[in-house]
Amino acid sequence: MEPEVIPAILAKTREELLHRVARVEGLVSEIQIDVMDGEFVPNKTVGIEDLLQLPVLKQRGARYEFHWMVKDPQRWIERITGPHMHLVHVETIGREAMGEAGGSLDKIVQAVKQSGGRLGFAINPETPVENLLPYAKKAERVLVMTVRPGFSGQSYIYDMEHKVRKLRELFPKLDIEVDGGVNNETAGHAYKNGANILAAASAIFSSQDIKGAIALLKKQALTGCSHKPH
């Protein structure tokens, strides 16, 4: 599986969000938008009103990936329409989250279906990979957090690669994404261990040459390891 680089956007305002979208539009087939509610994680980004009527991406087949670091993700997803990827944290689907105030799996699946989107699942560093396995069969994509969610600019947690390896072993054809601390040094490690999708923020948006930064990340993923994952 060839590596794919996805720019990750963490924005506090719609203006900042649209500015970053414009910087990478046409260069990639997918753009990740990090959404935080200040409850599930200790940070808050753009709200649901800021996510409505986002620009249609010009590149044919391009779409958004929404990384929902929020409580009750189905309440956000049902407001978004289009063939986008919705990444929901398994931590919001546990028994403690199955009540009226939580996000049951059935409600999430229904919300994604009604939105016309696609469903994926994300897992935090402290959560055992076994918690993700029951959902992986229902997913088109899984995301392994390689930093603790909430803030950009953190260091890549190499210990999370055991989760990626386990997932790749069990699901050879599944899209496996890593998010957090991905840069020119860590991209090769992530890809070697089985991640075919690399979400990067600082490594892309801190560069004056966005196109070059994306190309370099992909090159480093391919050449920065001794062999491709099985």
CA distance 77 to 114: 9
For the entire predicted model, the pTM comes to 0.92
Q: Is 202 helix (H, G, I), strand (E, B) or coil?
A: helix
Among candidate residues 169, 67, 48, the one with its CA nearest the CA of residue 123: 67
Is 208 within the bounds of a domain?
A: yes
Check residue 225 and give its pLDDT: 62
Is 229 part of any domain? no
In degrees, rounded to 5, the angle at the alpha carbon of residue 105 between the alpha carbons of residues 100 and 109 is 115
Out of 72, 159, 179, 209, pick the active-site residue.
Answer: 179
Q: What is the 3-state secondary structure (H, E, C) of 87-145?
A: EEEHHHCCHHHCCCCCCCHHHHHHHHHHHCCEEEEEECCCCCHHHCHHHHCCCCEEEEE
| 34 included as an active-site residue | yes
Percent of the chain that is helix, strand, coil (3-state, to 5): 35, 20, 45
Known catalytic residue: 106?
no
pLDDT values of the chain reduced to their tens digit, one per residue, 230 residues: 899 999 999 999 999 999 999 999 999 999 999 999 999 999 999 999 999 999 999 888 899 999 999 999 999 999 999 999 999 999 999 654 334 444 489 999 999 999 999 999 999 999 999 999 999 988 999 999 999 987 777 899 999 999 999 999 999 999 999 999 999 999 999 999 999 999 999 999 999 999 999 999 999 999 976 444 44
Q: Distance between CA 112 and CA 92 in Å, rounded? A: 15
Asked whether residue 132 is assigned to any structural domain, the reply reads yes
At 55 the pLDDT is 93
**14: CATH:** 3.20.20.70
Contact 45, 11 (CB under 8 A): yes
Which amino acid, one-letter code, is at 226?
A: S
Q: Which residue segment(s) compose the domain that 72 sits in?
A: 4-223
Q: Indicate whether 193 belongs to any domain.
A: yes
Catalytic residue among 34, 37, 50, 72: 34
For the record, the structure tokens of 97 come out as: 């989250």
DSSP state, 33?
E
In a domain, 136, yes or no: yes
Tell me, what DSSP letter sits at residue 192? H
Question: How many domains would you assign to the chain?
Answer: 1
